Structure 1
Amino acid sequence: MLRRVHIRGFKTAIDAVLDLGRLNVFVGPNGAGKSNLLEAIAVLGCAASGRVDYDAFRARGIRPGKPGLLKTALSSEKRAARTILLEAVSDSTRYQVVLGDSALGRGASTGSAAWRFDKETFSEGEQEVGSRSKGEGYLVHADGARQAITARLDRGIAPLVGTTRGEGEMSSLLRALEEFAIYAPLPPMLRAQIPDPAQKQPVGLMGGGLAEALLELKQAGAKNAALLRRIEQELKELGGWVERVSFEPESGYPGVPTGAGRSLDPHLGLRLQDRYLRSEVGWLSAVEANEGTLHVLFLLTMLYHPTTPQVLAIDNVDQSLNPQLARYLLARVQALVLAEPKRPQLLVTTHNPLALDALDLKDDRVRLFIVSRDKRTGATSVERMHHTDALERAKEHNMTLSRLWLSGALGGMPGV
């Protein structure tokens, strides 16, 4: 589990620290920097995999951009940032990386060149177990032996450190970072009308392959089939009209190009049974189902599927959802990630005030972050909203978190 992330010099984040819990919710105005914070963690994941370039960005949901814009370039600063510092901390391990310009130099093409690794450090407890500065470094093996290494400027040494240390907290931290991605599902991908440009396990970053992910559960033994039944039950309770989920090969269905999913033509189609319709016409395809139900099904799949990353982000978790449904869904997500250790650590953004009313801030594993930009400098600031007696008293007077946020009392509202 990620305990802390330090971001310095990335986009609008001059210097930001995130102390994370199991469920982390980010709110704030459009353009405040919420997605920037998630992308900084994803860049750290690229570094943990050993290479930072635009192919790695696309695979993790990072918006492409010129290096000059990825590094802090606020006019309020005396000079543009020369490097980006990123750091992740788990219970007793720490990984820090400093990234510079392209390893091929500032004039290199931004389309394919890998970024330069200026520095990396790896620590377990008080002991540094790996380090590199530019091209030279060392590793400390599990038996304490120290090994000097030569490192390429465009390659990180995290994969070497993970191999050297073997299974343990360091490899677990690096693996969580490497798997981290930002998901933002869209209806055409959820419906398999358009191929997902970033297909991952269990589901693509934009929701592609949802039917395949669910079918994998059905076919992968009794334990996973039971997970599918849990998803169906959750969907039934949250969606109201869905009775069962099924699958069938489809070809030539209106609005669905053949071969649009992971499979070859005919591609796999998702079907949802509407309990209120006659049995002979009661099954709806993903094309016919409403967007909100598909979005709920996507989120439930990500929560329950055994191949879901240990840590992940979902941008605009309330997308396509009725405000009250968004609240109920986030409450259910909260209950699952707190009660069941196998569920992923989540970072989500939302613009739905009612979603905040689902949060139990008395539980320290639930964190609400208010994100805003300084009106003078334009820098992104992040403030964790702690539970206080004042919040409890406000609640007694029907001033819920949603009302407090809309009133401007919590901050993180646009100045319009």
Structure 2
Amino acid sequence: MLEKLNVTRFKTLREEALEFGRVNLFIGGNGTGKSNILEAIGIASACLGRGLGDTDIGLKGLRITPPELMKSSFKNEDLPKTFALEGEFSSGVTYKCTLQSREGDPLLRFFSESATVGNRRIFGRSNRGASATGVSHVDRLEQHRGIWDQIKATYEIESQIADEFQRFSRYVIYTPQTDFLRGRWSGRIDTPPIGLHGEGLPEAASTFLDCWRRYLPGNPLHTIEHEKEIINSLVDLVWLPGWASQFGSHYAPASLTSRDIADRASKILYFRDKFMHASRNRLSGYDSSEGTLFLLFSAIVLGHPDAPRIFALDNVDNALNPRLTKSLVERVIKICEITNENNSSLGAQQVFLTSHNPTALDAFDLFDDNNRIFVVKRNAKGHTTAKRLIPPEGMTKDNWEIVRGGRNLSQLWLDGDIPGALGNI
């Protein structure tokens, strides 16, 4: 799990130190840099993944930005030649990288890079050379690919470190889009199991249900109680709007399938509406509630066996009313808690969220250090800052209730009593 990230000279993040928990929610005005924080994490992940080309970055859900524009450029400040990221992980590993770009060069390239555990160097490179596990690699490394991706199949690295890098290298930013969820648009599923925007929702829903069925009563194959709790909790998430009683994928009759669906010849997603006549109660994703589609998408990325264990969900309130927004964030927190406390092989380990819906805050306990809210804003120089929202020092839970005057966090946000949460006003 990524515990700390220091970001220097990346987009609007001039110099910012972030300390994360299991579930991390970023709130604030439009244009303050919330997405830039998610992308800074994404660049660090790409450095441990396949590479820094446009395709590699795009597969992580980052915007395809010219490398020159990734570096901070503020008034009255010199334009930097590099930007830097430093991450500390729960395994004790520290990973650092400094990236550079040249005008006209379409690729980011490594200026320096290192990974250490305590005082022990695992690998590293700079203008003085490169090495991994004590072996020189001066002439063997591609400058737009991280060392880890180039050596992981060759050298024996402790499993704890290798597993940490593997999990983090799969980090992506999910931004579900209605036309993909409804099936109006189709696309390649480059990020299993569902795609970044919902391109693979019908197939992912089908395999997600296969996983759930293994935990049904009477099936002797899987008896791990915490995994059963995870998958049942996520399937229940889909029923929260109150109208659907079943979902899956099937070949639908042409007469009951919208002509606006991109691929009517393939299996499509359906929901069963418990209030409709039996001959007409199977609705395609195209004809279903947008909020229910988003909840199904969220359930899959939280609990599908093929989903990344660490990811971001931009705009967690997408298409949801206030009650469902709070319920979804509560479920995210619950899944991460079960996963981490049981060291489960199923379920999300760490999640990063953005939201503009105040009720997302009501899912959080500010006294729980595992889950954190950050207020993101721009200072007088335009630099993005992210300050963790915590009760005053020395405040007890009982005193905090009195100070709030019975108001929940969403009301404090709406009343303007969380500085910066409504934007730079």
Normalised TM-score (structure 2): 0.87
Displacement, 1:242?
1.2
| Residue 376 (structure 2) pairs with residue 371 (structure 1) | yes
Q: Aligned runs of 1:335-354 on 2, under 5 Å?
A: 335-341=334-340, 342=344, 343-344=347-348, 345-354=350-359
Q: Aligned runs of 1:21-100 on 2, under 5 Å?
A: 21-76=21-76, 78-91=77-90, 92-100=92-100
Correspondence for 1:407: 415
Residue by residue, what CA displacement relative to the aligned partner does 1:155-203 show, whole Å, maximum 9, x if unpaired? 3211245342435232123212320110010111111211246631111
What are the ranges of 5 or more consecutive residues in structure 1 without an aligned counterpart? 141-145, 260-264
| Residue 117 (structure 2) pairs with residue 124 (structure 1) | yes
Q: Is the 8 A contact 1:22 1:346 kept in 2?
A: yes
Q: Is the 8 A contact 2:176 2:294 kept in 1?
A: yes
Q: Is the 8 A contact 1:214 1:228 kept in 2?
A: no
**Whole-angstrom distance in 1 between the partners of 2:277 and 2:158:** 54
User: Root-mean-square deviation (CA), in Å?
Assistant: 2.2
**Whole-angstrom distance in 1 between the partners of 2:50 and 2:336:** 30
Correspondence for 1:243: 245
**Whole-angstrom distance in 2 between the partners of 1:134 and 1:286:** 54
| Residue 329 (structure 2) pairs with residue 330 (structure 1) | yes
Residue by residue, what CA displacement relative to the aligned partner does 1:118-171 show, whole Å, maximum 9, x if unpaired? 10101123211111114821111xxxxx21112232332112453424352321
Q: Is the 8 A contact 1:162 1:170 kept in 2?
A: no
**Whole-angstrom distance in 1 between the partners of 2:128 and 2:205:** 45
Correspondence for 1:153: 143
Corresponding residue to 1:106 among 93, 103, 106: 103
Displacement, 1:38?
0.4
**Whole-angstrom distance in 2 between the partners of 1:16 and 1:346:** 20
Matched position secondary structure for 1:123: strand
Does the C-alpha gap of structure 1 residues 66 and 198 become closer, same or farther in structure 2, counting only changes over 3 Å? farther
**Whole-angstrom distance in 2 between the partners of 1:332 and 1:100:** 40
Q: Aligned runs of 1:299-310 on 2, under 5 Å?
A: 299-310=298-309
Displacement, 1:328?
1.7
Does the C-alpha gap of structure 1 residues 415 and 136 become closer, same or farther in structure 2, counting only changes over 3 Å? closer
Does the C-alpha gap of structure 1 residues 220 and 298 become closer, same or farther in structure 2, counting only changes over 3 Å? closer
| Residue 358 (structure 2) pairs with residue 361 (structure 1) | no
Q: Is the 8 A contact 1:251 1:266 kept in 2?
A: no
Question: Aligned AA for 1:395?
Answer: E
Q: Is the 8 A contact 1:58 1:198 kept in 2?
A: no
Q: Is the 8 A contact 1:165 1:171 kept in 2?
A: no
Q: Is the 8 A contact 1:130 1:161 kept in 2?
A: no
| Residue 126 (structure 2) pairs with residue 133 (structure 1) | yes
Does the C-alpha gap of structure 1 residues 302 and 275 become closer, same or farther in structure 2, counting only changes over 3 Å? same
Matched position secondary structure for 1:173: helix
Correspondence for 1:143: none
Displacement, 1:385?
1.3
**Whole-angstrom distance in 1 between the partners of 2:398 and 2:273:** 41
Q: Is the 8 A contact 1:134 1:153 kept in 2?
A: no
- Greater shift, 312-321 or 184-193, is seen at 184-193
| Residue 385 (structure 2) pairs with residue 385 (structure 1) | no
Does the C-alpha gap of structure 1 residues 25 and 137 become closer, same or farther in structure 2, counting only changes over 3 Å? same
| Residue 254 (structure 2) pairs with residue 273 (structure 1) | no
What are the ranges of 5 or more consecutive residues in structure 2 without an aligned counterpart? 217-227
Q: Percent identity?
A: 28
Residue by residue, what CA displacement relative to the aligned partner does 1:214-248 show, whole Å, maximum 9, x if unpaired? 21234469537777665433322x12111111211
Correspondence for 1:254: 258
**Whole-angstrom distance in 2 between the partners of 1:195 and 1:167:** 41
Q: Is the 8 A contact 1:245 1:272 kept in 2?
A: yes
Q: Is the 8 A contact 1:117 1:153 kept in 2?
A: yes
Residue by residue, what CA displacement relative to the aligned partner does 1:292-347 show, whole Å, maximum 9, x if unpaired? 11111111111111111111000000011101211122112212211233321100
**Whole-angstrom distance in 1 between the partners of 2:241 and 2:211:** 26
Matched position secondary structure for 2:142: coil
Question: Aligned AA for 1:106?
Answer: E
| Residue 162 (structure 2) pairs with residue 174 (structure 1) | no
Correspondence for 1:210: 201
Corresponding residue to 2:401 among 395, 400, 410: 395
Q: Is the 8 A contact 1:193 1:257 kept in 2?
A: yes
Corresponding residue to 1:185 among 153, 176, 183: 176
Corresponding residue to 1:234 among 234, 237, 244: 237
Does the C-alpha gap of structure 1 residues 139 and 322 become closer, same or farther in structure 2, counting only changes over 3 Å? same
Q: Is the 8 A contact 1:50 1:157 kept in 2?
A: no
